[in-house]
Amino acid sequence: MTSVDLGRLGVWGHLDSLSAAEATAYVMRAEGLGYGTLWVPETVGREPIALLSHLAATTDRITLGTSILNIWGRDAQATRMAAGTLAESSGGRFVLGLGVSHPHLATKLRGHAFEHPLRRMREYLAAYRAAIYRGPVAAGTAEPPVMIGALRERMTDLAATDADGALPYLVTTDRVAWMRLRLDAASRDERPRLAVTLPVWIGEADDRTAARAYLKPYLRTPTYQASWELQGFDAGDWEPPGSDRLVDAMVSIGSGAEARRRVEAMRHAGADHVAIIPLADDGTTEHAPTLEAVAAG
């Protein structure tokens, strides 16, 4: 059995601004540049399991992950079967990222009652582990790692005790260091993995237009507001269009060298893996020149 290698540097993106053929070419280029893992989210665009199944057939080395798969979107048995299928079809290159998502996506979009998210995640992880999968298993492949989207104390603890690690989003380097300590303190066995994201825009250091376009939908989200408050920000920072202080803390703006410096700072703080989010001028998340610029160093 082999463990799933995330690599030191990855790439995160919806890929929805690209056609299927363009998305395939983009991911193949990321693989060629040495990015270790591609992460895709689940919102209202492409269905992530279907997308990664397609990409598993068109790539050779890059690990494929969900960041995150919405637990309200499918029961644990369906997720277990999907994870087993992707692990086999990719030759063991799949990592399952799960999350509770947000009230508006769970309630308004999917019709679920968004309540007791910590308890629901704990129950979901238990059900996933207990689920039956009798499909083929590729020789030499390991069980896919399970990581969960975590921002606050108890979900971070759960990532250490009931999963294989945490996938925080929109966090500062100081928060990464806090999460590393929290995960390690809660862990009962192996060191939990910590994979973080870093939005990157390549351009003039004082031009925050693309960064603000990207952050716009998150500014009104209570989950991130609560997380940012714990990181030292306040309501004035997430008042649209977002304060310079918040934007600069969440997004690397400037050169490829500056982005690499930010990546290394997160790794020094305790992240095992940093996935960049390559921003185009309109805030979309699959900008090939940025992918190239960050890899160039």
Find out whether 38 and 65 touch, Cβ atoms under 8 Å.
yes
* Domain of 100, in residue numbers: 9-212+249-295
CA 49/CA 55 separation, integer angstroms: 10
On whether residue 51 sits in a domain, the answer given is: yes
pTM for the whole thing?
Answer: 0.95
Is residue 219 left, alpha or beta, with left meaning phi > 0 and alpha meaning psi from -120 to 50? Answer: alpha
Residues 108-138: tens digit of each pLDDT: 666 667 688 999 999 999 999 999 999 999 8
Q: How many folded domains does the chain comprise?
A: 1
On whether residue 235 sits in a domain, the answer given is: no
pLDDT of the residue at 102: 67
> Tokens 């934007």 appear where?
247
On whether residue 107 sits in a domain, the answer given is: yes
Tell me the two tokens of residue 271.
Answer: 């992240």
- Indicate whether 1 pLDDT > 80: no
Eight-class DSSP state of 292: H
Contacts of 24 (CB under 8 A, 6+ apart): 54, 55, 58
Is residue 107 left, alpha or beta, with left meaning phi > 0 and alpha meaning psi from -120 to 50? Answer: alpha
- Indicate whether 163 pLDDT > 80: yes
On whether residue 4 sits in a domain, the answer given is: no
On whether residue 114 sits in a domain, the answer given is: yes
The CATH number linked to 72 is 3.20.20.30
